[in-house]
Chains A and B, each alone.
Chain A
Amino acid sequence: MKRRNFLRILLGLLGTTTVVTFGYPLVKFLAPPEGESKTRKLVVKKSEIPLGESKGFTFNNTPVIVINRPDKGFIALSKVCTHLGCLVTYERGRKILLCPCHAGVYDIEGNVVSGPPPKPLQKFPVRVEGENVVIG
């Protein structure tokens, strides 16, 4: 019966390996991702962005523009155009964001006014805390 015992032990080994090979991914699957869930917050001084002006930053690897709107306060929008990915520029005079690649036009809420973009610009949550503007 030596062969049968050997086979039984082999089966046990293979079975255990399989359980571990599934167990490890299962644990990692359910575990929260390290660090990435911590959305880093971007803190900007209010004084850095005068009324009607804007400033560009990088937030979570995305280029972001923060505009100090004359009537509605701060807004943080992704600069990535939703058409093909070029970065929009803020035209203060016309109060629009213009994409230089195919003339996609957004208003200062990020909504599409004209041109090829299919969706509005991604918006990021903004809070004003005292002297600071907190994005994210």
Chain B
Amino acid sequence: MRYLFLSLLMVLSLPLGSLAGYREEFEREFLSKPWAGEQMEEDACIACHVAEKMDPKFRNIPQSWKMSIHYQHNVSCHHCHGGDPKDAEMSMSRERGFVGTPKYAEVPEFCGKCHVGILKNYLESGHGKALKSTGKGPNCVTCHGSHKDEQYIKKAHIDIINERLCSKCHSYERAKIMKQTLFLTEKKMGALDEGFSRLKAEGVYIEEEEKALFNIQAEFRTLFHTVDVSLVKERTDEFVKKLEPIEMKVKNTFHELRFRRNFSAFLMLLFAGMGIVVFVLSRPPRE
């Protein structure tokens, strides 16, 4: 009787799951308690900008932003535009630092609140000087886009330099030379990025090297914003040299992973061999 009861218990407990809402109940009970750590923040900016009442041209902004690299790094509306995201009434208040949409010529300082190094180089460049003196010229949004018109800011890459974009004010020739100068270094950095992903997939944690690469990438791309081809040419070697130790480390790590695999395979074969020998030995001897 006892095991009958037991088996009935087990079998009957399954249909109980057919009651709707079990998944939500579990998630609610287990995962969204305050101890889970992550607080679902009330973001007043997003709350209004996705509402039905909002003007369509503003309503698409949160969606575009969610595709961007800023979103991936937890950079939110108030980080750039100011205001108070926790308080709907003060979300667009000047008192809380709200600056609204920057004017065309003020965009570099707007982005430069965080991207300090790039702003410095940009202002010294031909592009920056043109913008500041004539009010015409490329600002950050010209090349990198924004969350307007269903665009979004992607991770920077060399193909931002292209004929369509760079021939708006002058011939593409100069931009082409710049792109060629950048090309080799960018390619090496891309290869390293890929090497890092492969290493991560194999379980190796390489934070120090990732940081070093990020620093070199950032320095290199900041340098580009001077749009000074001779300067970039001059310093390209310096950057390639800086990349070398990281490349070496990545190569060595792959080498090490191969060694580990061979070593454990060898041990596996040893044990398998001993198992087979013992098995054969353990058969009753023919009397």
Instruction: Enumerate chain A interface residues (CB-CB to B < 8 A).
Output: 4, 7-8, 10-11, 14-15, 17-18, 21, 80, 84-87, 98-103, 115-116
10 contacts between A and B (CB under 8 A): A18-B274, A80-B215, A84-B214, A85-B210, A86-B219, A100-B222, A101-B117, A101-B218, A103-B114, A103-B115
User: What 16 new A-B contacts, CB under 8 Å, besides A11-B278, A80-B215, A100-B118?
Assistant: A7-B277, A7-B281, A11-B274, A14-B273, A17-B270, A18-B271, A85-B213, A85-B215, A86-B117, A86-B214, A87-B215, A100-B116, A102-B114, A102-B116, A103-B114, A103-B116
Q: How far is the CA of A10 from the CA of B274 in the complex (A)?
A: 8
Interface residues on B, range: 20 to 34
Q: How far is the CA of A54 from the CA of B218 in the complex (A)?
A: 23
Whether, in the assembled complex, B16 has its beta carbon less than 8 Å from a beta carbon of chain A, the answer is no
Tell me whether B116 and A21 are in contact (CB under 8 A).
Answer: no
Residue of B nearest to A115 (CB): B114
Q: How far is the CA of A100 from the CA of B222 in the complex (A)?
A: 9
Q: How far is the CA of A102 from the CA of B115 in the complex (A)?
A: 5
Tell me whether A11 and B281 are in contact (CB under 8 A).
Answer: yes
Residue of B nearest to A17 (CB): B270
B218 surroundings in chain A (CB, below 8 A) = 84, 86, 100-101
B120 surroundings in chain A (CB, below 8 A) = 100
Residue of A nearest to B210 (CB): A85
Residue of A nearest to B266 (CB): A21
